[in-house]
Structure 1
Amino acid sequence: MKGQMPDWASGLLKTEKQNELSVTWTAPAVSDHGLGQWATASVRWIGPPQESERVLLRMKVAPEAELIWKPHLCPEEGMVVGDSVFRSPAIVFERGMDTFALIPDLRHLGECRPVPHVMDYVRQDRELFYGLAHYEKYGHVYHRLSHRRFPVYPGRELFRFHVVRWEKSGGGRNLIPVSRWLWETFARPAAALPAQSDDLARAMVAALRELEPYAMHAYDWAFRRWGDLVWHEFDMDGAAVGGCVFIVRASQAPGVGMEDRWRERKSIWNQAWFCSLRSAYGYRLWGGIRGDADLVRRANLAKELALSAPRINGWFPSVFRADDQGRWDNGRWGFSDRRPPGHDEYAHLPDMSWTCYWMLKWYRDLEADERLLQYAQSYAERLLTVQDVSGSFPAWIHPVLGYASPFLRHGVGTSVHALLLARLFAMTGNAAYLSAAERAMAFVLRDVMPEGRWEDFETYWSCAAEWEGKRHGVKDSRSGLYNQSTLSMYWTAEAFKELYEATGLASHLAAGEKALAELSLYQAVWNPAYMGIPVLGGFGVMNSDDEWNDARQSLFALTYIGYYGATGKREYAERGLGAMKASFYMMYCPENPLMRQLYERKHPFFGERDFGFEMENAHHGADGDDIVGEFTIFDWGNGAAAASLAELLFRTKLIGEGPYDP
């Protein structure tokens, strides 16, 4: 069909008459109902030649349709969803039991982008638009339309987009068909993996093995070439401990003369982002497989540091900081400073549960050190005492006074506690842990997922902080959506998978797939030329920031591969492999020649000594000087990615005969 909008689409959208624009619609003769019905709009300029600030096709959305997702929030007039967040771009609505979405034609955009693309939906006006306009970064990080003009000429095709409908998709913010459509339409052709399951798994193992040099760069950088800066070991109460320092700057490269100019006070973290124990799990695994006694030794020192965190009424601190002179022997324990104002003395429960979860993984996978299990169980028993009748857990508690903070008092951080408790049930058989985990995830399923309320500490108390247009617990006024962070989506998908493995209940797996689908909408399904670097498979962070290739993707790789194992769905295997590859896209090394050029342009003193340095993400679009940052975090970036790769290669049964054995 050519020409007019299909009848099914015209019931959803009404195109406003714009004399300068001509819209031609094309729909496939036969729709694949498994992938929905879709039609493609091609928009041309038919007015006189002119200079324009923006060319937007405006549409009214059916009044009974409700917006359920878009890639970025636009809390003020003049803000738009710019194409610097077009990772898996879609503006998604539900009408009754049907789902429909506007999706940019990424193939056309990849071939023709003389002007940036923008889109948005404002619920007060029920107006959806797509088109061309220049925009500027504003705050951290939004996109505001600029007054920059561009030429338009008669007859020229300006842009294309798709409208897709999935009938009877189930409602209830079911984003599975949307994420599937995006992956199969745009990413699947680039995956180039075999169709047969056995061949697919073997191809995945081969692809993962190709990533081993990146892990070796990370360890050589951290423990040898930058070892005096990154790795620190010292005595604590008569015991030897160690770990990789929280953050180092490019300008601290050995020999440059700025080694002592720290970005933040020297510290070692076991927190929900920066987890020394998680990275140490990885180099303990690599060390055991490769017979590298030094890696094993260092990992054991990091384990000892985690176990040395003192308990305060059952809670424990997450950060060990050196003193003002940078000395560890006079350092002190404290809490993460990623927190609301006035919470300096509050313990963040997700930090503690995440650390104890890695203690359990270490105990099960690497070494049955009873201290690990006892430490995690002792904490879990205290955790059970603060579970609310709703099933939720608080985010922050004052460890001495016992007060629970009102911030995120009943939030999705509950999922990481359920993950820990379900794992403890699997290891101990204690039914109290399972009961608490199931009540916790019933809360998430009931009170978080139906409204996409993925609010955690990162959403408001990180670099993308609160401001008058972004407040915790408050929906964005122009879209009716909550601010979201992908980390809590990950916790949720993992917790449901853990419950499925503990109980065999298919309902847990189904709920986990719904959370995973929303997470998937932050994964890049293509490599836009205007980004200037590889991004396919990489992840963003939230709907009020604009990262690509964020370091969290190495965690997500494990989750997708786990869901592939549970369901056999090819999409999850491809997504997991893509995320793992993306975890090394930002590394400075000879295997990444483009990134090497960008690093050396910004840091001309970089050379072979610095191979393995890796910024945590690509933060600001097409400018290479912004893509390449000035710091790296071993326990979030390169070291964490090496740990996930080790787990996929050595602990995950991707092929029938078991993990890869080098």
Structure 2
Amino acid sequence: MPSSMRTAIIFSSLILSTFPLCAVNRLESAGGAIRIEVDTTNPAQNEVVSIKEDGVWVPALLSTASPTRVISEGTPDVVHSCTIKEISAIPSGLLLREDCSVGSLEERVLLTSEPDVLAVEARFTPKASIKIRSVEDRYDFAPGRRASSSLTSGLVDFVWSQNIKNEADDIVPNWSFKSPAVMLQQGKVFTALMPELSDRHSDPLALDLDVTSDKLPWLSYGAVASQPYGHSYFRRSPDAGPRVVAGEIEYRYSIVASEQPYKLGYRRVVRRLWSHEGHKELLQSNDLQQNVTRPELVTFDDWRTDTWVRYANTVYRGFDCGNQRCGTLVSNRNSEGDWGKPAPDAWFNAWFQTLRSAYGWYLYGQRSNNKDIEEKAESILNLALKSPQDHGAFPTVYMLNTKQWIRDDGWAGYADDYHTFCMSWTAYWMLQWGKNLTPNREKEILAFVRPYGDFLVKHQLSSGVIPSWYDSNLEPRSEFRDFNAETAASALLLASLGEATGDHTYANAAEQAMNFITKEVLPRQRWFDFETFKSCARKPFDFYDAWTAQYPQNNLATIQAAKAYLQLYQVTKNREYLQQGTQVLDYLLLTQQVWNNPAFSPKVVGGFTTQNTDAEWSDARQGYAAVLLWDYYKATDNQEYLERAVAAARSTFAVAPWENWAHTGYLDEQGALTGFHWGPGSALTSVEMMSPTLGDAFINLKEKQGVGFNACSLRNITVIGHSITFDLETFPSSRSIKLRFSGVDPHTKYKITWNGSHSSMVDGSTLARDGYVVQQ
């Protein structure tokens, strides 16, 4: 056959019962990849070929039938499968012309610079007077599924979609494109569909995925209109259709098809999402901190004045408690956790963690040499330490008017029960106060935390799980007794307590708890915490998506698990914990937004959504995730984690004071105003923790990388010897910027050049101690 009629497609594994690649006439292993040479002269032939998996050649079906399905209006609506009429070679790929009976389709299937990625461009032209419901490309997953599954072994080894299904017709619409992809993996065989985010954002587009309904699992992407229902699901619209522009319906996407480590193919997608989308969006967002309703707030100093001086003092309540002064930054929620009857309160909760916000407030007091703020912040620690303990367990909500302690949030928990998630997160922050802010009180803090640690050790089950809720007799509630992912929060506390006391009992219990997470939670990603079932996206504890074979999951527990793995690594020096932690962190990052969706008023890059049965953008938990990513950057020097940490830390300010944006997923409006802590308080606490090292902008000289942190962007960083050059863009443009560095040699001088024309010589010891101020 003439070489001009032969097109080479390279996959790391061949995994799809795929779109027409024509007849395969050659298959060979090429450096871990598989090379497929396609004969474009014979498009009608089906071939059974083989792929190599774990050293064994196994059969896989290559189908040359088109994957495109068109649904037109009818009673009922009619499904049309397209038929290939012509295939021709074009530069870097194939051009397919297809007949779909109600229109014609042209698809370009293109090679890319990535050996395991194909780019697909689809253009459908409907016939006149035909109303089209959807046009989408659906691919069967050739490795298939297992005949049965268990709690630790699924029908496929890995499956992911941002939204799971409540009904068979549910989809993942463009309103859910935070880190958009659908993924399947069986063994080492991995595939993903990834939308092209530069497509017209207002077009109705959707991903879909199904594991169980047909002979083979499948995934799809295309022009599909959606309809929201419930809280918060989207189904295929029975009335609307795709947007037709100049007589055509268009969409673009990528196919990732690779041999990947067992169950870890999603990490390939996470890396690609940031390198292709998030990195450039962050560089273009030097104004990310600018608030959508108060545009005068831009820099961290603007936010410090507004949050720590104005807002915090407005919601602070101080009162005498014995021979001490106690205090709180109130959320004004009632004892049942809602806002119907607001009352001054103190919440030491997984969400509204007053002690964490007070930690940031204290740091600001130190930074500004404001002793009054330091004393007010420490009064919140005083109150937390006054919580009455029962064999170590303690209530986490205090109502000022009634002087009453309540054990748990009565809205998303059980008010009469002790809740380990909230107790462990509070005790963890007590230890942070003693370690970093008030070492003179460490003995007092340990006197409170150790009995609680003993409580956890006593009630830990042989599996490693730590039950979540305990009644007044300290008997565990059946819900979340034998299985929960909240165990990770207690593991974090126990590992930290073991480090603080040197008592291996706590560290051993932490390891046992995280072994439970490793063995029982990770295999099917069952991230069950209280918010998964009892918050606004309520559902039965046995909820399961039988179509995509996924469980509901919430990322509060995922954040705590990644934190606990890292803490165990730091305590034990066992690198397996670091490796496991980065895998969990990368899974968490599938819920981080990698672009500024133009459908929304604020910039949302770097923000986090919450779970796979809710739909909000830029939820305040991103403040927690920012410090987590920052800690992993310090442990790994992974530049992506640094950039993601910065994007997460800045993202809350764009939507503050609300806890999130577009709670429904699709309306351009603010979310709920749940108080100081789940908004600017938590966000600015993260900034206070990161700022001493990052300054306004940061360069790691060893890694020759850096990032703009405070309303600025850093580009084109070059480090050659002791010469440092970079481009800096600030918002507003006239600001001076404090640049911080790591990896500085204090015994030499550095030449610093920025924006191509400014330069100066700086002594290394000065650079390490004081950084460098760039005067614009």
TM-score, normalised with respect to structure 2: 0.71
1:13 to 6, 18, 21: 18
Letter in 2 for 1:240: R
How far the C-alpha of 1:122 sits from its partner, in A, is 1.9
| Aligned sequence identity (%) | 28
How far the C-alpha of 1:37 sits from its partner, in A, is 3.1
How far the C-alpha of 1:176 sits from its partner, in A, is 1.5
Distance in 2 between residues matched to 1:651 and 1:557, nearest whole Å:
14
8 A Cα contact 1:650 1:659, kept in partner: no
Instruction: Pick closer, same or farther for the CA change 1:248–1:582 going to 2, 3 Å.
Output: farther
Distance in 2 between residues matched to 1:3 and 1:539, nearest whole Å:
45
What is the aligned partner in structure 2 of residue 213 from structure 1?
302
Considering fraction of residues, name the structure with more strand.
2
Letter in 2 for 1:22: L
What is the aligned partner in structure 2 of residue 513 from structure 1?
582
2:135 alignment partner, SS class? strand
8 A Cα contact 1:276 1:302, kept in partner: yes
Letter in 2 for 1:28: L
Letter in 2 for 1:38: L
8 A Cα contact 1:424 1:433, kept in partner: yes
Letter in 1 for 2:691: L
How far the C-alpha of 1:524 sits from its partner, in A, is 0.7
Query: Structure 1 residue 60 and structure 2 residue 149: aligned?
Result: no
2:105 to 2, 12, 22: 22
8 A Cα contact 2:660 2:672, kept in partner: no
Instruction: Pick closer, same or farther for the CA change 1:292–1:7 going to 2, 3 Å.
Output: closer
2:179 alignment partner, SS class? coil
Distance in 2 between residues matched to 1:158 and 1:441, nearest whole Å:
47
Letter in 1 for 2:120: T
Query: Structure 1 residue 623 and structure 2 residue 711: aligned?
Result: no
How far the C-alpha of 1:70 sits from its partner, in A, is 0.7
How far the C-alpha of 1:580 sits from its partner, in A, is 0.6
Letter in 2 for 1:639: G
How far the C-alpha of 1:73 sits from its partner, in A, is 1.0
Distance in 2 between residues matched to 1:346 and 1:299, nearest whole Å:
28
8 A Cα contact 2:394 2:418, kept in partner: yes
Query: Structure 1 residue 634 and structure 2 residue 703: aligned?
Result: no
What is the aligned partner in structure 2 of residue 603 from structure 1?
none
Distance in 2 between residues matched to 1:5 and 1:239, nearest whole Å:
76
1:531 alignment partner, SS class? coil
2:261 alignment partner, SS class? coil
* Aligned positions of 1:561-576 closer than 5 A: 561-576=630-645
Letter in 2 for 1:531: F
Distance in 2 between residues matched to 1:5 and 1:263, nearest whole Å:
67
What is the aligned partner in structure 1 of residue 690 from structure 2?
648
What is the aligned partner in structure 2 of residue 482 from structure 1?
551
1:583 alignment partner, SS class? helix
8 A Cα contact 2:629 2:645, kept in partner: yes
Letter in 2 for 1:133: V
8 A Cα contact 1:561 1:576, kept in partner: yes
How far the C-alpha of 1:81 sits from its partner, in A, is 1.0
What is the aligned partner in structure 1 of residue 506 from structure 2?
433
Distance in 2 between residues matched to 1:5 and 1:248, nearest whole Å:
63
2:365 to 272, 281, 287: 287
1:32 to 114, 127, 131: 114
How far the C-alpha of 1:315 sits from its partner, in A, is 0.6
Query: Structure 1 residue 44 and structure 2 residue 136: aligned?
Result: no
8 A Cα contact 2:467 2:476, kept in partner: no
**1:294-324 deviation digits (Å, cap 9, x = unpaired):** 21121111111101100023210010124xx
8 A Cα contact 1:616 1:633, kept in partner: no
Distance in 2 between residues matched to 1:659 and 1:282, nearest whole Å:
22
What is the aligned partner in structure 2 of residue 159 from structure 1?
251
Distance in 2 between residues matched to 1:614 and 1:221, nearest whole Å:
17
2:111 alignment partner, SS class? coil
Instruction: Pick closer, same or farther for the CA change 1:114–1:320 going to 2, 3 Å.
Output: closer
How far the C-alpha of 1:107 sits from its partner, in A, is 1.8
Where does structure 1 lack aligned partners over 5 or more consecutive residues? Answer: 194-208, 250-260, 588-612
1:421 to 462, 486, 494: 494
Letter in 2 for 1:56: E
What is the aligned partner in structure 2 of residue 231 from structure 1?
316
The one of the two structures with greater contact order (alpha-carbon pairs below 8 A, sep at least 6) is: 1
Larger radius of gyration: 2
What is the aligned partner in structure 1 of residue 148 from structure 2?
none
Distance in 2 between residues matched to 1:307 and 1:294, nearest whole Å:
20
Distance in 1 between residues matched to 2:342 and 2:231, nearest whole Å:
20
* Aligned positions of 1:511-590 closer than 5 A: 511-587=580-656
1:278 alignment partner, SS class? helix
Query: Structure 1 residue 240 and structure 2 residue 325: aligned?
Result: yes
What is the aligned partner in structure 1 of residue 421 from structure 2?
350
Distance in 1 between residues matched to 2:245 and 2:177, nearest whole Å:
26
1:117 to 205, 217, 222: 205
What is the aligned partner in structure 2 of residue 314 from structure 1?
392
Query: Structure 1 residue 78 and structure 2 residue 78: aligned?
Result: no
How far the C-alpha of 1:567 sits from its partner, in A, is 0.8
Distance in 2 between residues matched to 1:404 and 1:660, nearest whole Å:
53
Computed over aligned residues only, the root mean square deviation of the Cα atoms, in angstroms, reads 2.9
What is the aligned partner in structure 1 of residue 530 from structure 2?
457
Distance in 1 between residues matched to 2:399 and 2:772, nearest whole Å:
38
Instruction: Pick closer, same or farther for the CA change 1:618–1:160 going to 2, 3 Å.
Output: same
Distance in 2 between residues matched to 1:10 and 1:352, nearest whole Å:
46
2:225 to 134, 148, 154: 134
**1:224-278 deviation digits (Å, cap 9, x = unpaired):** 4xx1xx22222345643111112479xxxxxxxxxxx965444210011111100
Letter in 2 for 1:631: L
Instruction: Pick closer, same or farther for the CA change 1:652–1:311 going to 2, 3 Å.
Output: farther
How far the C-alpha of 1:60 sits from its partner, in A, is 2.6
Distance in 1 between residues matched to 2:550 and 2:398, nearest whole Å:
37
What is the aligned partner in structure 2 of residue 180 from structure 1?
271
Where does structure 2 lack aligned partners over 5 or more consecutive residues? Answer: 20-66, 69-80, 83-99, 146-155, 285-297, 699-740, 743-767
Instruction: Pick closer, same or farther for the CA change 1:428–1:407 going to 2, 3 Å.
Output: closer
Instruction: Pick closer, same or farther for the CA change 1:72–1:336 going to 2, 3 Å.
Output: same
1:269 to 347, 358, 369: 347
Instruction: Pick closer, same or farther for the CA change 1:51–1:650 going to 2, 3 Å.
Output: same
2:616 alignment partner, SS class? coil
8 A Cα contact 2:345 2:399, kept in partner: yes
1:68 alignment partner, SS class? strand
How far the C-alpha of 1:82 sits from its partner, in A, is 1.3
Distance in 1 between residues matched to 2:420 and 2:503, nearest whole Å:
21
Instruction: Pick closer, same or farther for the CA change 1:21–1:262 going to 2, 3 Å.
Output: same
Distance in 2 between residues matched to 1:235 and 1:174, nearest whole Å:
56
Letter in 1 for 2:110: A
Considering fraction of residues, name the structure with more helix.
1
Distance in 2 between residues matched to 1:187 and 1:5, nearest whole Å:
31
Distance in 1 between residues matched to 2:309 and 2:484, nearest whole Å:
40
Query: Structure 1 residue 504 and structure 2 residue 573: aligned?
Result: yes
Query: Structure 1 residue 367 and structure 2 residue 459: aligned?
Result: no
How far the C-alpha of 1:373 sits from its partner, in A, is 1.9
Distance in 2 between residues matched to 1:37 and 1:458, nearest whole Å:
36
TM-score, normalised with respect to structure 1: 0.83
Instruction: Pick closer, same or farther for the CA change 1:242–1:26 going to 2, 3 Å.
Output: same
Distance in 1 between residues matched to 2:181 and 2:106, nearest whole Å:
20
How far the C-alpha of 1:106 sits from its partner, in A, is 0.9
Distance in 1 between residues matched to 2:5 and 2:606, nearest whole Å:
34
How far the C-alpha of 1:535 sits from its partner, in A, is 0.6
8 A Cα contact 2:344 2:399, kept in partner: yes
